[in-house]
Every structure is written in C-alpha cells, then in structure tokens.
Amino acid sequence: MDKFLIEGGHSLKGEVKVKGAKNSALPILATTLLCEDEFTIENVPLLRDIFTIKKVLEVLGASVTLDGNKAIVDTRGAVGYEAPYELVKQMRASYYVLGPLLARVGRALVSLPGGCAIGTRPIDIHLRGLKKLKADISITHGYIDAYGNNLKGSHIFLEGQNGPSVGATINVMAAATLAKGVTVIEGAAMEPEVTDVANFLNKCGAKIKGQGTRSIEIRGVKKLHGCEYEIIPDRIEAGTLAVGAAISRGEIFLKGAKTEHLEEFISKLKEVGVDVFSEKDGFAVKMDKDIGSTDIETAPFPGFPTDMQAQFTALLCLSNGVSIVREKIFEERFMHVLELVRMGADIKRENDYVIIKGVPCLYGAKVMASDLRASAALVLAGLSASGTTEVGRIYHIDRGYENIEERLRNLGAHIWRQEE
C-alpha cells in the first residue's frame, strides 16, 4: 500500500492539462454494451476505476484496449449478464452496466455496489426508474436480478430526497434508448457528465433531447451503432487543481477546463480572494492575498459540487475568518475533518455542517485518506502545511486522479509516492 510524502510551502505555478472526466468515462464505457459494434473513446483518464470498469466489460464478453488515453471497445459477439461482487465491490459505478444489459440482452445480474464510504447512496432510485420501463427486478443474495425483454417507454420521476441522481438518470436513460416508445425523465440530473453520456448515445444513433435540463426525452430506437467520441474534461480535477493553486499561493493555467461546468465553484473562489481569468482554451487561477472566509452549501448541478466540498474545506482552514460548510448530498462526507484537525485546523462538526475558524497555518502530520475526495483534500492541505505531511491509503486518490503526484511536481510541488 502506497503513501504520499509532501513537503509543504512550495507554490504551484505553470500549466496543466485537465484529464477526461471520470464520471463521464465510466458510464460511457458501460453504455457501449448497448449494441454490437466497435467504439473509439478519446480522453479516457487512466485511473483505478477505469481499469475496474474495463475488467467488468471483459467479464461480460467485451474487448477493451487502452492505448494511452484512448479506449477501443469491441462489443461484438455474445455478452453475458452477470457483473460479479468481486469487481462491483471495488467501485460503485459498476452498476452502470445494469441499464445497458437490460436493454440489450433482457437480463442483468449485478452485485449491489461498493465504492467510497461517504454515506448512504441508495440504488432504489435506479430500480424504481427501470421498473417504470417494465423491467422485473428483485434483490436476492446481494445481487440485483433484473429481467427486461420488452422494455417500454414511460413517464418517470427520478428525483430522490437529496435531489436528482446522476447515476439513476444515466442508467434509466441508457435503458430507454432501446425501449419501445417515448420515455420522459422528470427530475433528471443536469450535471455535465449526464449531458456527455447523452451526447455519446446520440452519436451512436439514440434520440435523446433535453439533456442538461430537469426533463429528458428519449425516443426509443431499434438499434444503436459504434462511434468515435471524446470525453469532456474533468471539472472536479480542474477544481481540485484550482484549490491547489489557491492554497499554495500560486498561479496555474488549467488547459481544457470549462468555466461553464464550475460557475458556482468559481464564484466561491473569487469570494475568498482568488483571481480567476477565463481564456479560450481553459482558465487561470492566481492567489496572492489572504484567504477570505465564506459559507458554502453543496447542491446538485449547477450548485456547489459535493465532490469539491472536502477540497474547499481544506482551503477555508487557512482563511482569515469563520466559514460554514454544509453538506446536503452525502451525510458522511466529513471524514476528512478529523484528519485536518490533526494538521492544526480548527473545525467543529454539527450534524450536516461544519464551522471552520481559519488558522494562520497548518502543520505536517501523518493522516489517512478515507475516500477519494477526502484524500485530495489532505494532499492540498499538505501543499501549504509547515513541514512534511504523510498521507496514507492513497489508493483512494488513484481512483479519481491520473498520476496526480507527477503532475503536481511538474507545477512545483514537493511530493513523492512511497511504499508503506
């Protein structure tokens, strides 16, 4: 098991290209199962989760070749219907094969998912949507057992108690592409990754409109085909690197990043004193003043992304005031807080929010990552901390950031990977 050693006090400076969006790449690779053909997917990030979905597709009978950041997927021939526990437990997004398998072969046996321990993320919204398409679904022995030889379009309301579900929207949308008739998803997730998957499916011959809004219409077609497609840049990686520049008092250019995917986040950056400059092919971030305080509340897109909450919390630990961070999506997404306290942060948790009193500096310490975004927050804290920070269990960060230590070093960070 590897760990990171970070020597703080070195500003990030320079240019970095933002990799492809993990949360687009995973469902796009899964939805290639909808038809028998060959696909070329560009801008695929090389992450642990990508290698996991590759194994899932291969177990199901597809061929997947990774050539740099390009994936060539061949789904011609027989396709199985079981996604086993041994793979699904490694990554929650494995459930994205559920809708495509139902639509293509009329059967899916998918283990209940694993993933980051950040609280309850119920699968029931997915199942409710698929049942509305006339799928027959039961849960037995830890598996979702689904049949759907004659999927039919329906009017479906998908929003859950914490708002729209990205995963459920994508799963139901994928299954509906081959269902008979018209499906309308109300309460759909509006995240850029949902739009990206819809655009990919349309390039494969699907008839989807309304993506990026709360109402998506899918007109079922008889058959889809392969295509070439390029995945959008990862807004969460861009946001993480932007916070890295801010917390280290640096200046970087995020090549390829799209400001329209991060408007609320960028608004909060500016509120705490960060300068953000939009350019044609990305945006620049510069911080040369004291960090101000602010309050944030996570929300579905276009609100402040829950996947950026931990990283922004790390930044606010060094503010010159008091901030409140409220988490409205995942109830256990504060496990980074105790680790930040170990580094000298002044944070108090109250139910679904934390109160942060800014401190002049953080101190290097041994800390442990609990999930993907928490690990990123601890690395960012280490960039600014006095002394050396040791971050354990970094396999979490490898799930969502490609070669993060090498890319941070290229920007001036002093960070090394070491075997524990």
List pLDDT tens digits, range 397-419.
Answer: 999 999 999 999 999 999 999 98
Q: Which domain holds residue 267?
A: 2-19+233-419
Same domain as 320, residue 264? yes
Phi, psi of 318, deg, nearest 5? -105, 15
pLDDT at 79: 86
- Total residue length of the chain: 420
Confidence of residue 163 (pLDDT cuts 50, 70, 90): confident
Same domain as 288, residue 175? no
Q: From CA 106, how far away is CA 125, in angstroms rounded?
A: 20
Same domain as 284, residue 201? no
Confidence of residue 122 (pLDDT cuts 50, 70, 90): low
pTM reported for the whole predicted model: 0.95
Looking from the CA of 376 toward its CB, the CA atoms found within 13 Å total 27
List pLDDT tens digits, range 55-70.
Answer: 999 999 999 999 999 9
CATH of the domain at 82: 3.65.10.10
Q: From CA 246, how far away is CA 261, in angstroms rounded?
A: 19
pLDDT at 112: 81
Same domain as 316, residue 173? no
Same domain as 202, residue 85? yes
DSSP character for 178? T
> Does pLDDT of 358 surpass 90?
yes
Same domain as 238, residue 165? no
List pLDDT tens digits, range 323-345.
Answer: 999 999 877 778 899 999 999 99
Q: Is 285 in contact with 245 (CB distance < 8 Å)? A: yes
How many structural domains compose the chain? 2
Three-state secondary-structure class, residue 72 = strand
Residue 68 CB burial class (10 angstroms; 0-12, 13-18, ≥19): exposed
For the chain, give the percent of residues with pLDDT over 70: 97
Q: From CA 225, how far away is CA 243, in angstroms rounded?
A: 40
Looking from the CA of 115 toward its CB, the CA atoms found within 13 Å total 16
By annotation, the residues acting in catalysis are 116
pLDDT at 351: 86
Which of residues 230, 260, 276 is at a domain's end? 230
> Does pLDDT of 121 surpass 70?
no
pLDDT at 118: 36
Confidence of residue 363 (pLDDT cuts 50, 70, 90): very high
DSSP character for 112? P
Same domain as 94, residue 27? yes
